[in-house]
A = this chain, B = another copy of it.
Amino acid sequence: MSKSVVILLSGGLDSTTLLHHLRRLSPGLVLHALTMHYGQKHARETVCAAWQAAAAQVRAHHLVDLACLGQITAHGSTLTGRRPVPAMSEIREDQLDQPPTYVPNRNLVFLSLAAAYAEAHGIDEVFYAAQQQDFYGYWDCTKAFQEKLNSLLGLNRRAPVTVRAPFADLDKAAVLKIGVAAEVDYAHTWTCYRGGELACGVCPACVERLAAFQRVGLPDPLAYE
């Protein structure tokens, strides 16, 4: 029987790269992709996720309605709340470990649901595309986070699920290089935090993405405002 894994696929640069990287490493791998819709300001990412899931020939792609996370955290985040997403230049240095775009506990909520899905389907690995971010220090993208979560999930002796973050030591440019090798079509990814027709180019996510393309020496195929 072929090995099956679950992958958290947002439709952004990192998770799309991970998806195609896994497919490239292991053509027979059975992939179950979960995309969380949690009340972001737009659905652009989820459309890209569906496109990429099809391109990577996943066995199943589930769009998970997690609007409740947006409702629960609207108070604390510009990604799910009413306040506008700031430009990178508006973020103070002392906010970098937890900028206004941080969604409280998002990764643990996503990974808990992914582990529930994995356990219910007899799958023992969940992949997510945490990477060593260039500008931020999100606590829930660290190796310590991954290790402690795996220690917790290991208590489930009947069905221990292991979370894997193979990009945890890489920065975004290194991730992008892997994606270029895997022939990822980045025109079908979405990174911008704002909800415009074109990517804004100034929000923290756009700035980080553009810097990665620049460092790798490639043009970003997305159109920017």
Say whether B65 contacts A72, CB under 8 Å.
no
Rounded to whole Å, the gap between the CB of A125 and the closest CB of chain B is 14
| In the assembled complex, A77 has its CB within 8 A of some CB on chain B | yes
Instruction: Let me know if A152 is at the binding interface, CB within 8 A.
Output: yes
Once A64-B72, A139-B156 are accepted as A-B contacts, the answer to whether A116 and B145 lie under 8 Å apart by CB is no
Chain B residues with Cβ below 8 Å from A115 are 104-105, 108
What residue of chain B has the Cβ atom nearest to residue A68's Cβ?
A: B64
Please give the distance in Å from A168's CB to the nearest CB on chain B: 14
B69 to A68, Cβ gap below 8 A?
no
Copies in the complex: 2
Q: How far is the CA of A78 from the CA of B145 in the complex (A)?
A: 32
Instruction: Using CB atoms, name the residue of chain B closest to A137.
Output: B157
Q: In the complex, which residues of chain B have a beta carbon less than 8 angstroms from the beta carbon of A155?
A: 139-140, 142, 144-145, 148
How many A residues face the partner with a CB closer than 8 A? Answer: 46
> A92: shortest Cβ distance to chain B, in Å?
14
User: Smallest distance from the beta carbon of A68 to chain B beta carbons, Å?
Assistant: 5
A139 near B120: Cβ-Cβ < 8 Å:
no
> Cβ of A199: which chain B residues have Cβ within 8 Å of it?
none
Asked if B156 and A113 sit within 8 Å, CB to CB, the answer is no
Task: Check if B119 sits within 8 Å of A105, measured CB to CB.
Answer: yes
Asked if A158 is at the interface (CB within 8 A of a chain B CB), the reply is yes
Cα distance A74–B120 when bound, in Å? 8
A67 contacts partner chain B, Cβ-Cβ < 8 Å: yes
B104 and A108: CB pair below 8 A? no
In the complex, A62 has a CB within 8 A of chain B: yes
In the complex, besides A73-B119, A98-B158, A105-B115, 19 extra interface pairs with C-beta distance below 8 angstroms are A64-B71, A65-B68, A69-B113, A72-B117, A73-B120, A76-B121, A77-B120, A97-B158, A98-B159, A104-B116, A105-B112, A105-B116, A106-B116, A109-B112, A109-B113, A139-B156, A140-B156, A145-B152, A148-B152
